[in-house]
């Protein structure tokens, strides 16, 4: 479902952040991306989402080569991969429903259908009743769940998130992870970059670890 073949990544003229990375992720897996700050976890996720091109090698998502995707195929990738970046990019000049409707508006869905789907997505992440709130009126955990709702409203088959529990208390962090688990249990392939190994040990069944250019791939998460 996701495949990296001899992937290298450097920004500009810097040295390689990722060097000769090879792995496959099968449908339905729940993968923990671990490693210290600056190791390249975000970069790995951005390569999957097509937000950064590899310097060398090939990245495949659903057998399509992401880095060679023609412009007309990009909307397909957007639907296939839901992304929650560290900066959630929520819009503070509109309410929760309107934030979640954005990706649907971009796809050309009419407003009524989009609003109904947005409400369903908010319900799935536990934000029923908060549809009309502006993100400013929400807690950190609620904002994170709002970002998840926006990422899943297109029903992606892959969900990737960068440090989704950073800066949250344990209870909120667990609620976020429960949301990911619920999507994973209905078949959504899930990859999460995090520093919180004990938390991830309760959810993920595979670890991709990056550290100073070294890469390892193991089943399970050692707490």
49 binds ligand ADP (CB under 6 A): yes
The residue range among 43-51, 119-127, 135-143, 168-176 that interacts with ligand ADP, by the rule CB under 6 A, is 43-51
Spatial separation of the C-alpha atoms in residues 127 and 117, rounded to whole Å: 13
Interaction between residue 221 and ligand ADP (CB under 6 A): no
Cβ(146)–Cβ(90) under 8 Å? yes
| 99 near ligand ADP, rule: CB under 6 A | no
Using the rule CB under 6 A, which residue among 6, 65, 68, 89 binds ligand ADP?
89
Q: How far is CA 58 from the centre of its chain?
A: 20
Q: Does 161 bind ligand ADP (CB under 6 A)?
A: no
Select from 2, 7, 17, 125 the one that contacts ligand ADP (CB under 6 A).
17
153 binds ligand ADP per the rule CB under 6 A: no
How far is residue 135's CA from residue 221's CA, in Å, rounded to a whole number? 33
Q: How far apart are CA 18 and CA 208, in angstroms?
A: 13
- Taking CB under 6 A as the criterion, the residue among 4, 19, 21, 42 binding ligand ADP is 42
- Residues of this chain that interact with ligand ADP (CB under 6 A) are 11, 17, 35, 37-43, 49, 51, 77-78, 81-83, 85, 89, 151, 193
């Amino acid at each position: 479902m996701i495949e990296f073949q001899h992937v290298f990544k450097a920004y500009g003229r810097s040295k390689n952040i990722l060097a000769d990375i090879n792995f496959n992720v099968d449908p339905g897996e729940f993968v923990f991306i671990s490693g210290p700050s600056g190791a390249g976890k975000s970069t790995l996720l951005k390569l999957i989402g097509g937000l950064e091109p590899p310097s060398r090698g090939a990245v495949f998502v659903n057998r399509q080569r992401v880095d060679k995707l023609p412009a007309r195929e990009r909307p397909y990738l957007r639907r296939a991969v839901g992304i929650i970046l560290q900066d959630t990019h929520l819009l503070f000049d509109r309410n929760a429903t309107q934030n979640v409707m954005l990706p649907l508006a971009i796809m050309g869905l009419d407003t009524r259908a989009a609003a109904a789907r947005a409400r369903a997505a908010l319900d799935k992440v536990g934000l029923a009743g908060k549809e009309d709130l502006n993100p400013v009126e929400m807690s950190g955990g609620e904002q994170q769940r709002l970002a998840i709702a926006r990422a899943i409203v297109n029903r992606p088959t892959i969900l990737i998130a960068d440090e989704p529990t950073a800066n949250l208390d344990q209870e909120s962090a667990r609620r976020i992870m429960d949301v990911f688990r619920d999507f994973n249990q209905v078949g959504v392939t899930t990859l999460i970059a995090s520093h919180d190994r004990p938390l991830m040990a309760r959810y993920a069944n595979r670890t991709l670890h990056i550290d100073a250019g070294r890469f390892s791939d193991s089943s399970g998460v050692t707490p």
